[in-house]
Amino acid sequence: MTGPESASGTTPTQQPAATSAPTGSGGSSGDLAASPARIALERRVRAVTPARLFLGRSGTSYRTADQLALRADHAAAQDAVHAALDLETGPLAPLVDSLGLFAVDSAAADRATYLRRPDLGRALSAEARDEVARRCPPAADLQVVIGDGLSVAAVDAQVPALLPALLDAAREAGWSAGQVFAVRNARVGLLNEIGELLDPGVVVLLIGERPGLVTAQSLSAYLAWRPRPGHTDADRNLISNIHPRGVDAPSAVARVLSLATAMRAAGTSGVLVKEDLGPAALGS
81-136 pLDDT per residue, tens: 767 788 998 899 999 999 999 999 999 999 999 999 999 999 999 999 999 999 99
Q: Which parts of the chain sit beneath pLDDT 70?
A: 1-34, 79-80, 82, 213-214, 278-284
* Alpha-carbon gap, residue 51 to 7, rounded angstroms: 12
Question: CA nearest 180: which of 253, 84, 92?
Answer: 92
* Phi, psi for 136 (deg, rounded to 5): -115, 115
**pLDDT at residue number 57:** 79
Asked if residues 224 and 191 have their Cβ atoms less than 8 Å apart, the reply is yes
Asked if residues 154 and 219 have their Cβ atoms less than 8 Å apart, the reply is yes
**pLDDT at residue number 24:** 38
* Alpha-carbon gap, residue 214 to 7, rounded angstroms: 9
Asked if residues 87 and 93 have their Cβ atoms less than 8 Å apart, the reply is yes
Question: CA nearest 35: which of 22, 16, 50?
Answer: 22
Please report the domains of the chain, with CATH numbers, ordered by start residue.
82-266 (3.40.50.11240)
- Tell me the one-letter amino acid at 55: L
Give the HSE-up count for residue 265: Cα atoms under 13 Å, Cβ half-sphere: 10
Report the DSSP pairing between strands 219-225 and 236-242: antiparallel
Q: Is 188 annotated as contributing to ligand binding?
A: yes
CB atoms within 10 A of CB 6: 14
